[in-house]
Amino acid sequence: MKKKILTLLLILAIIPTTLVKADDKHKFQLSRQIKIINSVIKDLNLFYVDSIMPEIMITKGINAMLSNLDPYTQYYPKDKAEELKMMTTGKYAGIGSVIRFHTDKNTTVLSEPYEDMPAQKAGLKAGDVLISIDGKPVKGMSTDSVSDMLRGEPGTILTVEYERPGKKGISKVKIERESIALPAIPYYGLQENNTGFVQLNSFTDGCAKEMRRAIIDLKKQGATSFVIDLRSNGGGLLNEAVDIVNLFVPKGKVIVTTKGKTKQANEVYKTTNDPIDLNSPVAILVDGETASASEIVAGSLQDLDRAVIIGSRTYGKGLVQSTREITDGGYLKLTTARYYIPSGRCVQALDYSHVIDQGKTSRVPDSLTTVFYTAAGREVRDGGGIRPDVEPKSEELSTLLYYLMRDMAIFDFATEYTLKNGTIAPADSFEISDSDYEEFKKLLRSRNFSYDLISVKVLKDLKKAMEFEGFAEITKEEIASLEKKLQANLDHSLTHFEKDIRILVASEIVTRYYGQKGTIIYGLNKDTELKEAYSILGDEKRYKEILTPKSK
């Protein structure tokens, strides 16, 4: 016994020494590499044939270094710090409009001036082509560069020259920049079967309060169940996600646990307020772009059996970022922890620990994920995002639709449409007419619009494979026949995919008259996943069955 105790004491004495030595070695290596960097920069400054630009060189060097970690660890120099602020608060100072790069025109156009914001108040409209900002031409510039020029301090004036389709000449207007606060909830409303629908676009500062007001208002209107749409919501502030979950679950529940290298990174987040609804059925809509804080809300409500998750598997971002102010007013946003939701699982899908060794990230295969259990005992898994409880069959969209959007054909048609029509029907009932659709087809023909077929590419690959394997000669006639039949036929495609194309065209037109809110309202009646949510929420038996563990 004495020997065993002495052996144990010896092991315990050795471990700290080993750890100290390992830590000292790491610090020595870090210090050595920093000296190397300093030496390289000094020599470049002294001996390089031309003068170096330190700011550009160092910024590029930092970004290259961070690229070996994960895409969320980023450096924001002083002149880009405003971008970071906008990400967390949803606020910035500018003219208040979405902009897009128009490939055919090789310049930036306004695509959606926000209601009652400077651009709209100055008379600018969607489709206006930007010519110059404060006398500087913007042709050929990226939208990021143009966006930087449009932003500035509130109260400052900028001069914009623009060209409006259908109007001759260039117009000029002075615009006063204002503080722009983007709403986290662009729309909520009472829908069929007394279901309250809420579209949540981001987890910015104060969004939980917006959600609370929306839910209370919907309950006053008679809502007896709720749908929260988190599709394409890339996340944001962790504490806002916890507060939103708190609206539907009791006080004192553990929602998120974060684990990192430092003491500050290890935290437990609990609900701290009294909920406003513990019993109404809830459905959460998710998709492949639902990430981060959105996954905390969806995953926590799933783990606590408080909501039915509907849609497709989420993105799988189980990492937490913090910001640190560094020298000269810049910021470093870096990953400091992983988060774990109530069941104990982490939803991180990509393994960034092998980026440096392998040159690419690897996704956690389903076969290596671990089973966890919800509060009621339902099986859920870690890794690879949140798997929905219900996955409605989604329609595959044609490549034609992608090319139509990329070509700006739909955008330009909507611009022409607004020039001819002063008003349109309400957003929830608007549809384009048959004559409108014919005009759209004429526009495509006049532009010599063309697109590539996936089937043609696949056939080319098949042809190469058959040549490699010696089947080219005996299949020559069949391949030639297929090549002839698979020529892109625009008229055929415009008829075959007419329903989907009409929806895209009408949606763009509705945005011109009713903004983002109107676009959401227009899409409600055509949303198959939303209809599935209504069906489940209206069927108490089915709702409870989904939230009940399957018998073994």
Q: Is 459 helix (H, G, I), strand (E, B) or coil?
A: helix
Instruction: Please state the separation of Cα 352 from the chain's center in Å.
Output: 20
Residue type present at position 238: L
Per-position DSSP letters for 344-412, written without gaps between them: S-----EEGGGHHHHSS-EE--GGG--EEE-TT--EEE-SSSPPPSB-PPPPPPPHHHHHHHHTTHHHH
Q: Show the CA angle centred on residue 43, arms to residues 41 and 46, nearest 5°.
A: 110
- Which of these, 440, 411, 441, 446, lies nearest to 103 by C-alpha position? 411
Distance between first and last Cα of the chain: 47
Q: Which of 303, 305, 389, 412 is catalytic?
A: 303
Whether 317 sits among the annotated catalytic residues: the reply is: yes
Residue type present at position 53: M
Structure tokens at 217: 């208002």
Q: Which of 111, 292, 294, 493 is catalytic?
A: 292
Phi, psi of 111 (to 5 degrees): -115, -25
Phi, psi of 134 (to 5 degrees): 50, 40
- List all residues 6 or more positions away from 156 whose beta carbon is below 8 Å from its beta carbon: 176, 177
Q: Which of 125, 317, 333, 517 is catalytic?
A: 317
Measuring CA to CA, how many Å separate 194 from each of 191, 213, 218?
A: 6, 17, 9
Rounded to whole angstroms, the Cα distance separating 112 from 475 reads 52
- Which of these, 383, 205, 233, 204, lies nearest to 294 by C-alpha position? 233
The set of catalytic residues is 292, 303, 317
